[in-house]
């Protein structure tokens, strides 16, 4: 698949990129031991808005063994711990055109080689990108770069499953049963890991608090000038 990007789109992408760059440089300055994660998220998200873009997702501040996707919860009192490894991941969009970028701030020099490995892996990946290269090949380059430096990449198996899930279900809800049917029991194990890592989410079963019985009828309608046009017409299923 190949998509031609018009000049106006490239402009928007570049503007989003500038905003993310400015915000990440601010991030590098403010991440310090004892600072509240919530304050970091808030300040950086406000900075995105001030610069005329909008967050493409909540600012992520992921610490130590948390690989990605932590953002402050309401009332979150978490602070940056001493000697930690802090990943700041920022996305901004201009009219839906997204730039997404992350940095690692290490608060202890011991972790510099780890951060360096991630950085060199990104550089190698960028050098390899061109029309027609397979994403799997880029993944292999990233993996090699990280292993070369004595570290372990975050499991490619998980990433593979995640991208399978994405292309199959397009971000729509799916059943773990479907995952097992398509990709087997191993995929089911991996799915549990993805849930723990909050890469995919469980829909909770809704239960009436008092244990009372519940009924449901539902339809989807297009609201028109003179009334509602039901897409399904579920009422025809009901006698009387």
Return residues touching Co ion (CB under 5 A).
89, 100, 102
| Region of residue 167 (phi > 0: left; psi between -120 and 50: alpha; otherwise: beta) | alpha
Least distance from Co ion to the Cβ atom of residue 100, Å: 4
Q: Which of 82, 89, 125 lies closest to 104 in space, CA to CA? A: 89
Q: Residue 58 corresponds to which tokens in the numbers above?
A: 């909540």
Least distance from Co ion to the Cβ atom of residue 60, Å: 7
Least distance from Co ion to the Cβ atom of residue 85, Å: 16
User: By C-beta, is 99 or 187 nearer to Co ion?
Assistant: 99
Query: What are the residues whose beta carbons fall under 8 Å from the beta carbon of 171, sequence distance 6 or more?
Result: none
Q: Which single residue brings its beta carbon nearest to Co ion? A: 89
The Cα–Cα gap between 159 and 139 comes to 10
Least distance from Co ion to the Cβ atom of residue 160, Å: 18
The Cα–Cα gap between 94 and 56 comes to 9
User: By C-beta, is 69 or 180 nearer to Co ion?
Assistant: 69
User: By C-beta, is 102 or 114 nearer to Co ion?
Assistant: 102
Return the number of other C-beta atoms located less than 10 Å from residue 176's C-beta: 14
User: By C-beta, is 92 or 187 nearer to Co ion?
Assistant: 92
């Amino acid at each position: 698949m190949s998509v031609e990007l018009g000049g106006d789109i490239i402009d928007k992408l570049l503007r989003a990129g500038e905003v993310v760059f400015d915000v990440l440089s601010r991030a590098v300055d403010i991440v310090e031991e004892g600072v509240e994660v919530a304050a970091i998220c808030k300040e950086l998200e406000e900075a995105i808005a001030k610069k005329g873009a909008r967050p493409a997702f909540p600012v992520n501040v992921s610490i130590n063994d948390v690989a990605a996707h932590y953002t402050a919860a309401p009332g979150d009192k978490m602070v940056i711990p001493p000697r930690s490894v802090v990943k700041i991941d920022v996305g901004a969009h201009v009219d839906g055109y997204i730039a997404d970028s992350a940095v690692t701030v290490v608060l202890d020099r011991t972790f510099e080689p780890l951060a360096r490995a991630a950085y060199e892996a990104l550089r190698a990946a960028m050098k390899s990108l061109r029309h027609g290269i397979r994403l799997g090949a880029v993944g292999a380059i990233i993996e090699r770069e990280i292993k070369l430096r004595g570290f372990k990449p975050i499991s490619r198996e998980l990433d593979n499953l995640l991208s399978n899930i994405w292309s199959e279900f397009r971000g729509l809800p799916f059943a773990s049963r479907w995952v097992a049917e398509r990709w087997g029991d191993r995929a089911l194990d991996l799915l549990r890991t993805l849930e723990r890592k909050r890469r995919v989410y469980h829909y909770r079963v809704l239960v009436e608090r008092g244990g009372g019985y519940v009924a449901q009828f539902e339809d989807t309608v297009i609201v028109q000038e003179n009334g509602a046009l039901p897409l399904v017409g579920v009422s025809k299923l009901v006698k009387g």
